Chain A
Amino acid sequence: MSALRLMKKGALEYTAMLIIWAGLVLLFGALSRNFLAVSTFVTLANRIPPLTVIAAGMTLVLIIGGIDLSVGSVLGLCGSVLGVMLVGHHWPLWAAIGFALVIGLVAGCLNGILSVRLGIPSFIVSLGMLEIARGLAYLVTGSQTKYIGSAVEGLSEPLRGFGIAPAFLLALCVIILGQIMLSRSVFGRYLVAIGTNEKAVRFSGINPVPPKVTVFAIAGLLSGLAGVLYTSRLGSADPNAGIGMELSAIAAVVIGGTSLMGGRGSVVKSFVGVLIIATLEAGLAQIGASEPSKRVVTGLVIVCAVIVDAWRHRVSGQLLKKFFPKIAGCF
C-alpha cells in the first residue's frame, strides 16, 4: 500500500522535470540533424560529472539555508594542485588525488567554521573563499595550464563496449548516496529541520553547529572531487577551471526545486536539473546557436523551469489532497 503511494508521490515529484528534459531533447532532436543519437547522450553523460558532484553538495548547503559561492574556485584550485603535484613533483596519482581532495575538504571546513561559528553570512565567507581559492590556483600553477595527459585520463576514459566513463558512475554514486543520506538518515532529517526552523531545532536540544559545518565540509570535498574529475576529463589542469560554475550549480539545484530559503530539496532532482542545463548547452551548441542567443535561451529555460516547478507544487498538492489525503501533508 505505502509502496504504491510512495511510487505515485515519486512519479508526481519527477514528472514535471522529466517532461521539461524530454521536451528539450525532442526539441533539439527536431532542430538538428544528429542530436538524437547514442553518441550525444554518451558525450553528455561524460561531460556532467563535475557539475553533478558540485550540485549534490550545493543542494545540501541550500537545504540548511546557506550558500557556497566558492565551489567553482575550489574546483579550480584542487584541479591545479592535482596538476602541479603530478607534473611538477611527480607524485603518484593516488597521493595527488588524495591531496587535492584534502585541499577541497579544508576549504569547505573553513567556509563552515567561519560562517557557522562566527555567524558571518555564508554568502560573504564563500565569496571570500571564491577569491582566495582562485588566487591560490593561479599561484600554484604560475597562471599556466598544466598538461598532464594519460596519467589522469583513466577516470574519464569510456569503459570498453559501454561508452560511459567511470567518472559518470562515480557521480551517480554521489547522487544516490546523497539522496539516501538526505531522506533516510537522522543527519539528513536534521538538515531539513535546520533549514526550516533552526531555532526550533536548538530548542529540541539538538546542536545545529556540527551538522551545518559538516555540510560545508562535504560541499568543499565534493568540489575537490569535481576538480579531480574535471582535470581527468580534459587531461590538463587549468587554473581558470570552473569560473562561474557556482552559478550553474545553483541554477541546476534551483531548477530541481530546492528552495534558496532552505528546508526543502532533493539531490536526485538537482541531478535532473544538471541534465536539463547540460542538455541545453549541448543542444544549443549542436544547432550552432550564436553566443548571445545561447545565453538568452539558457536564462529563459532556467526561469521557466522554476515556474513550472512552482506550478507543479501547487497542482500536485491539490491532486494529492484529492486522491491521497493522508500523504498530502508531506508536500
Chain B
Amino acid sequence: MANSKKMKSNANSRTQWIALTLLGIIGLICGAGCNRSDTTAPAVNQTTGGKPRIALVMKSLANEFFSTMAEGAKKHQAANAASYDLVVNGIKNETDLAEQVGLVEQMVAQKVNAIVIAPADSKALVTALRRAKEAGILVVNIDNKLDADVLKQAGLTVPFVGPDNRAGAKQVGEALAQKLKAGDEVAIIEGIPTAFNGQQRRAGFEDAMKAAGMNIVSIQSGLWEMEKANAVAAAMLSEHPQLKAILCANDNMALGAVSAIQAAGKAGAVLVAGFDNISAIRPLLEKGQVVATADQHADQLALFGIEAALKILKGEAPPADQTTKVDLITK
C-alpha cells in the first residue's frame, strides 16, 4: 500500500507542483498588494524628497486596539501630509517577535528617518532597535515600554511615549471596589503572562484590591482571548460560589466573563471590570453588566509618538518619557 501511495504521489507530483507554484504566485501578488496599499503614500512622495519618512511598527493589526492606533496615525498623516510621510506595518500574531524584528530591519533597509514602535516584547526587540539606531535612524517607543535594564546593557536610550497601565488598572479596580464590601471574594483574569502591559494591569488590579481589603481568591490567564477567559471565568464561578467580582485585563476577556456569569445564572451578582474600552463593551457598560473599563486613547497614542519623533528630527532635545492619559470609563 505504501508503494501504491508513492506511485500515486509521483503521478500527481507535477500537478502538485503546478498548483503549489500557482498558490505561491497568488501569495506573492496578495502580499505585494497588501504592502503597496500600506506604503503607497511614501512611495509616491519619496521622489518629492525633503519630508521625513516615519515608520510606525505595530503589534497585531488584527487587534482592535492597534488597528484603531493605526487609523489614528493615518488620519494624522493625511491632515499633515506636507510635513511627513508614514509607513504603517503590523505583525500577524502578537507573539510573533521574529516578524516584528524583520519589519524593523526592513524599515532600516528602506532608510526611513524614524521608527515609532509598539514592541511585541519589551526585551527581544532591543537588539534590532540598536542596529536601527546605529544606522542613524531615530527610534521612539510607544505603548509597551522597553525593558530599562536591557536598554542600559545595550547602551541605548529610547524616548517612551505611552500609558501607565498599572495606574489605569488601579483606577478601574478602585471604581469596582466602591461597589463591593471589604473582604469580598474577587478574581483576576490576566493577559498573556509574559506581556509587560498585562503584568502591569494585573499589578494595578492587585494594588486596588489589596488597598480596599478584598480577598483575591484566584488569578489566572485568559491569554487576552474571549473564549479562554470564558472557560476560566466559568471555572472560577463554580469553584468560588461566593465570588463577587472578576477583573479582566482587557475588554475581550471581560465579554467572555460576562457570558460565563450569565450562563451560571449569576447575572447582577458578580461584577466585571475590563480594560481598553473597545466598542463591543459599550452596550454592556450601559446595561451595567460591566462596571468599569479604561480608555488609553489608542487613536492618539501613535500620534504622540509620531509628534515626539518629528520634534526630535527638527533638532529639539529628546523629551523625557511621556505618560499619556488613561481615562476611567464607567458609562
Is B100 engaged at the interface, CB distance under 8 Å to the other chain? no
Contact of A119 with B by CB under 8 A: yes
Q: Give the residue among B20, B193, B235, B256 with the most A Cβ atoms within 10 A.
A: B235
Contact A291 B67 (CB under 8 A): no
Knowing A120-B16, A285-B232, the reply to whether A230 touches B227 (Cβ < 8 A) is yes
Segment touching A, from B135-143, B206-214, B278-286: B278-286
B259 touches A145 (CB 8 A): no
Within 8 Å CB of A283, what residues of B?
235
A40 contacts partner chain B, Cβ-Cβ < 8 Å: yes
| Chain A proximity mask over B11-33: 1 for CB below 8 Å, otherwise 0 | 01001100110010000000000
Chain A 155-169 per-residue mask, 1 if CB under 8 angstroms from chain B, else 0: 010100000000000
Contact B281 A39 (CB under 8 A): no
Q: Would you call A13 an interface residue if the criterion is a C-beta within 8 Å of the partner chain's C-beta atoms?
A: no
Number of interface residues of B (CB under 8 A): 52
Nearest chain A CB to B137 CB, angstrom units: 28
The interface-forming segment of B37-45, B56-64, B104-112, B163-171 is B56-64
A234 touching B226, Cβ below 8 Å: yes
| Complex contacts, A287 vs chain B, CB 8 Å | 239
A236: chain B residues within 8 A (beta carbon): 226, 255, 259, 280
Please determine whether A199 and B225 come into contact, CB atoms closer than 8 angstroms.
Answer: no
Q: Which residue of A lies closest to B278 (CB)?
A: A145
| Residue numbers in B under 8 Å from A142 (CB-CB) | 67
The segment out of B119-127, B216-224, B315-323 that lies at the interface is B216-224
Is A118's beta carbon under 8 Å from chain B? yes
**A281 and B231 within 8 A (CB):** yes
Q: Given A43-B264, A143-B64, A145-B252 in contact, is the A240-B280 Cβ separation under 8 Å? A: no
Interface size band for A: 35 or more
Known contacts A145-B278, A236-B280; is-contact A291 B227 (Cβ 8 Å): no
Chain B residues contacting A124 (CB-CB under 8 Å) are: 20, 23
Q: Which of A147, A230, A286 contacts B255 (CB under 8 A)? A: A147
Instruction: Tell me if B264 and A39 are in contact (CB < 8 A).
Output: yes
Which of A32, A156, A240 has the largest count of B CB atoms less than 10 A from its CB? A240
Tell whether A329 is near chain B: CB-to-CB under 8 Å: no
| B79 on interface, CB distance cutoff 8 Å | no
Expressed in whole angstroms, the minimum distance between the Cβ of B194 and any Cβ of chain A is 10
Is B239 a contact partner of A32 (Cβ separation < 8 A)?
Answer: yes
| Cross-interface CB contact of A145 among B20, B241, B280, cutoff 8 Å | B280
| Chain B positions within 8 Å of A238 at CB level | 226-227, 252, 255
Q: Determine which residue in B4, B220, B278 has the highest number of CB atoms from chain A within 10 A of its CB, and name it.
A: B220
Q: Judge whether A285 and B255 touch: CB under 8 Å.
A: no
Q: What is the chain A residue whose CB lies nearest that of B255?
A: A236
Within B256-275, which residues are at the interface with A (CB < 8 Å)?
256, 258-260, 262-265
- CB-CB under 8 A from A33, the residues of chain B are 239
| Contact between chains at B255 and A40 (CB < 8 Å) | no
The verdict on B8 contacting chain A, using a C-beta distance below 8 Å, is yes
Q: Is A112 an interface residue (CB 8 A)?
A: no
Name the distance in Å between A199's Cβ and chain B's nearest Cβ.
Answer: 5
Q: Are B16 and A121 in contact (CB under 8 A)?
A: yes
Q: How far is the CA of A40 from the CA of B256 in the complex (A)?
A: 17
**Are B1 and A197 within 8 A (Cβ)?**
yes
Q: How far is the CA of A145 from the CA of B68 in the complex (A)?
A: 13
Residues of chain B lying within 8 A (CB to CB) of residue A317: none
Are A235's CB and B16's CB within 8 A?
no
Q: How far is the CA of A47 from the CA of B235 in the complex (A)?
A: 11
Q: Which of B238, B240, B256, B280 gathers most chain A CB within 10 Å? A: B238
Least Cβ–Cβ distance between A79 and chain B, in angstroms: 11
Q: Once bound together, how far apart are the Cα atoms of A291 and B265, in whole Å? A: 27
Q: Which residues of A contact B20 (CB under 8 A)?
A: 120, 124
Task: Give A182 to B64 CA distance when docked, in angstroms.
Answer: 42
- Decide yes or no whether B73 CB sits under 8 A from chain A: no
Contacts of A119 in B (CB 8 A): 12, 15-16, 19
Q: Is A239's beta carbon under 8 Å from chain B?
A: yes
A37: chain B residues within 8 A (beta carbon): 238
A288: interface (CB < 8 Å)? yes
* Residue from A46, A235, A241 in contact with B227 in the complex, judged by beta carbons closer than 8 Å: A241
Q: Which residues of A contact B238 (CB under 8 A)?
A: 34-35, 37, 39-40, 43, 286
A124, A145, A238, A285, most chain B CB atoms within 10 A: A285
- Are A47 and B234 in contact, CB atoms less than 8 angstroms apart? yes
CB-nearest residue of chain A relative to B219? A288
Q: Which of B8, B12, B226 contacts A241 (CB 8 A)?
A: B226
Does A146 touch B at the CB level, under 8 Å?
yes
6 A-B pairs whose Cβ atoms sit less than 8 Å apart in the complex: A118-B19, A144-B64, A233-B259, A234-B255, A240-B225, A283-B235
Task: Give the top 3 A-B pairs by smallest Cβ distance, nearest first.
Answer: A285-B235, A147-B280, A145-B280
Chain B residues within CB distance 8 Å of chain A: 1, 4, 8, 12, 15-16, 19-20, 23, 61-64, 67, 193, 218-221, 223, 225-227, 230-232, 234-241, 251-252, 255-256, 258-260, 262-265, 278-284
With A147-B281, A233-B230 already in contact, 8 other A-B pairs whose C-beta atoms are closer than 8 Å: A37-B238, A119-B16, A124-B23, A199-B8, A240-B225, A241-B226, A288-B219, A288-B220
